[in-house]
Amino acid sequence: MTNVAVTCTHLIRDIDGYRQVFADAGLNLVLPDVPGQELAGDELVVAMDGITGVVAGDDQFTDEVMAQLPDLRVISKWGIGLDGIDLPRAAERGITVTNTPGMFGNEVAEQGLGYLFALVRGIVDVDREVRAGGWPKPVGRSIGSLSAMVLGLGDIGRTLALKLQALGVTVSGSDPSPEATDFARANGIQIGDAAALARGVDVVMITAPLTATTRGMVDSDFIGGMRAGSWLINVGRGPIVVGNAVADAIESGHLAGAALDVFEIEPLIDERIRRLPNMILGSHNASNTFEACHRTHVRAIENLISHLP
């Protein structure tokens, strides 16, 4: 019987509803212990011992790890981001890698909007002060008066851009793909260089994937070029944004606020960022709704089973 594993914590949580699917496919389901958000290094090697296929979360399938997994033939990534998998080495080793695009663009876009409302209306800060006995009356901004640049016009970014437009926000975007250009032209969205567009907007909203180009892209120079008093929201990938650069800009007052759902190192361990005012901190949880998770479970399992040898 073929051994397959699930290391995606979302699917592990809901696994009882899917055990029969694996059984009907003649597969022996293995559920390794995943104490945090992901497995890496020796822990991942041990967990994958004798495993032919895996529904993976954010696990780090480096070349060193895959070299020690002679039985592995399929990595079915739950979600979109493939930055934790060495794709060229996987291909060389005959390991098929799949992912699940288009599963939760709406949900992540909704979370981005939630962060936007919370930032520009001071919702989180008011809550904290009222709990402490205060009764603050901060002056916010009207959503429809704002301009926003969406960095990354993939499924999530396109969905977010349309939602922003529906609220009256003036939207621009940055993404080098021909599909993004076509989308922008069809929807009256200015598209161009991210840093240049960031200089003229009230909010920069990041929905881009992590690539060699986007890693560290939003650094001190980028943020320094943003409009004074603007806001930054990241529901894309953590390493796109340099955390210390955001902290510097918050402390100096150059940024009015920031909402970060993702971080360079997760879980967040940066005490400086934790202590900063005008910051809303998430837990890499923007896609985690009941509906989105279950449709992604189905797609990831289908991808696994259909690609097994």
Locate 296 and state its tokens.
């992604």
Locate 76 and state its tokens.
């079915």
**Cβ–Cβ < 8 Å for 30, 56:** no
Dist CA 296 CA 309 (whole Å): 22
Locate 241 and state its tokens.
């944004």
One DSSP character per residue, 242-280 reads -HHHHHHHHHHTSEEEEEES--SSSS---HHHHH-SSEE
Residue 237 is among the residues annotated as catalytic for this protein: yes
Residue 284 is among the residues annotated as catalytic for this protein: yes
- Which of 266, 294, 295, 302 does the annotation list as catalytic? 266
- Which of 10, 73, 158, 284 does the annotation list as catalytic? 284
One DSSP character per residue, 118-180 reads HHHHTHHHHHHHHHTT---------GGG-EEEEE--SHHHHHHHHHHHHTT-EEEEE--SHHH
- Which of 237, 264, 297, 299 does the annotation list as catalytic? 237
Dist CA 205 CA 197 (whole Å): 12
Locate 47 and state its tokens.
């967990």
Q: Which residues are marked as active site?
A: 237, 266, 284
